[in-house]
Amino acid sequence: MLLMKSNKEDFLKPLQSVAGIVERRHTLPILSNVLIQIENTELSFVATDLELEITCKTVLPNSYERAAITVSAKKLQDIVRSLPDESEVSFDSKESRLQLKAGKSQFNLQTLPPEDFPKLSLSDEVESEFTIPQSTLRHLFSQVQYAMAQQDIRYYLNGLLMIVEPGIIRVVATDGHRLSLASADVPSIQHTAEAILPRKTVIELIKLLSGSDDEIQVSLGKNKVTFSFSNIKLVSKVIEGKFPDYNKVIPLHQNHVSLDRMTLLRATQRAAILSNEKVRGVRLVLTQNSLRIICNNAEQEEAEEEIAINYSNEALDIGFNVTYLLDVLNNLESSEINCSFGGANSSCLITVPGDPHFKYVVMPMRI
């Protein structure tokens, strides 16, 4: 039975949009599959890992009978990607096999029953719904995602806190050692709500969102968040738990330094070459109009970089994890940054001149 025919690119692009969340090895074999649904001229792909579900739809040039099938997402993607450009691909269903033909190439893939494909059964109750440009949401997530924890036993840190209040959206991420906060004005937000988005959801959205001003619709519910944009619908469970009070972490320091971001980044990258591979420590030594960046390791090797700065307050010698500094310097786009310091055992606050929407706090460490 002929399911459909399609140009390679028209089929591959929506397939790639959903295939990123598919787990290659899973206790449930069907979760390694993508659900393909055809109805008249509409072709849709659905993938899920039971925490996150992505649907991507496209329009076919011809009309076909209603059909559904599930097949290995990775194998199907690899096969279609490897076909010559401009190939026309036909898909046939034979017993429990999907037969794929393109030119003189032919592949037979095992399928599983589409009725066994799991769907996320979550509450439809919506607490807040709004639209925001894709570029704005992507920028917000990119500014904070690197501060999310990875596999922390405090499960609520393995994600990103999204808070919406009338006229504004805030996103916060922390792993307990550093915290990143970004916000943006969004006039369409009318109701207050918040949710902790899983790490995988955030990373996938950064991949899928474009840099354009096309709108994305966001719906926050009791136990899910839905993102609808272009021809994609992404539904994610939220992480239940109490996120730390981020306002208590943001310090008010008196020692301020304005720095060229790229100068600081390159100097820190060079010094980090000789940092201890396990501890990854770096010392920032502030003296009169000078910032020295010092790293050393277990082999008694040492690197020192010096940057001329405008500074006349008390001398400071503070240790930090060099990776945490490099993360924020690599992910910001501004030419300058402001660093605010307290004492030798205080955190560092990094902000962007003229931008009250971004704050980054990194805790000190003993070296």
Would residue 300 be called left, alpha or beta, if left means φ above 0 and alpha means ψ between -120 and 50 degrees?
A: left
The amino acid at residue 39 is: E
Torsions phi, psi of 301, nearest 5? -90, 150
DSSP state of 115: G
Owner of token pair 């993102």? 227
Q: Tens-of-pLDDT digits for all 367 residues of the chain?
A: 889 999 999 999 999 999 999 987 777 899 999 999 999 999 999 999 999 999 999 999 899 999 999 999 999 999 999 999 989 999 999 888 999 999 999 999 999 999 999 988 777 789 999 999 999 999 999 999 999 999 899 999 999 999 999 999 999 999 999 999 999 999 999 999 999 999 999 999 999 998 889 999 999 998 999 999 999 999 999 999 999 999 999 998 889 999 999 999 999 999 999 999 889 999 999 999 999 999 999 999 999 999 999 999 999 999 999 999 999 999 999 999 999 999 888 999 999 999 999 999 999 998 7
Residues 89 and 101: beta-carbon distance below 8 Å: yes
Rounded alpha-carbon distances, angstroms, from residue 277 to 270, 305, 321: 14, 19, 11
Residues 124 and 115: beta-carbon distance below 8 Å: no
Element housing 260 (H / E): strand 255-260
DSSP state of 51: S
Torsions phi, psi of 217, nearest 5? -95, 130
| Strand ordering across the sheet containing 281-287 | 302-308, 290-296, 281-287, 316-321
- Give the model's pLDDT for residue 121: 78
Read off the tokens for 117: 């494909």
Residues 282 and 212: beta-carbon distance below 8 Å: no
- Give the model's pLDDT for residue 159: 96
Fold (topology level) of 126-248: DNA Polymerase III; Chain A, domain 2 (3.10.150)
- Give the model's pLDDT for residue 362: 97
- Give the model's pLDDT for residue 123: 75
- Give the model's pLDDT for residue 2: 85
Task: Select from 306, 305, 317, 309 the least CA-distant residue to 272.
Answer: 305
Cα distance between residue 30 and residue 116, in whole Å:
8
Which residues touch 276 (CB under 8 Å, ≥6 apart)? 295, 296, 297, 298
* CB atoms near residue 215 (< 10 Å): 17
- Give the model's pLDDT for residue 254: 86
- Give the model's pLDDT for residue 307: 97
Cα distance between residue 25 and residue 18, in whole Å:
16
Rounded alpha-carbon distances, angstroms, from residue 36 to 32, 56, 101, 110, 116: 13, 10, 17, 14, 13
Buried b / exposed e across 38-63, counting CB within 10 Å, b at 16+? beeeebbbbbbbeebbbbbbbebeee
- 126-248 and 255-362 share one fold: yes
Diameter over CA atoms, the chain = 79
Domain boundaries, the chain: 2-116, 126-248, 255-362
CATH placement of domain 255-362: 3.10.150.10
Read off the tokens for 50: 């039971």
Rg of the chain over Cα atoms, rounded to whole angstroms, equals 25
- Give the model's pLDDT for residue 142: 96
Beta bridge partners of 359: 181, 351
DSSP letters for 16-42: HHHHTT--SS-SSGGGGEEEEEEEEEE
Element housing 77 (H / E): helix 73-82
**What is the separation, in whole angstroms, between the first and last Cα of the chain?**
68
pTM, two decimals, is 0.91
Fold (topology level) of 2-116: DNA Polymerase III; Chain A, domain 2 (3.10.150)
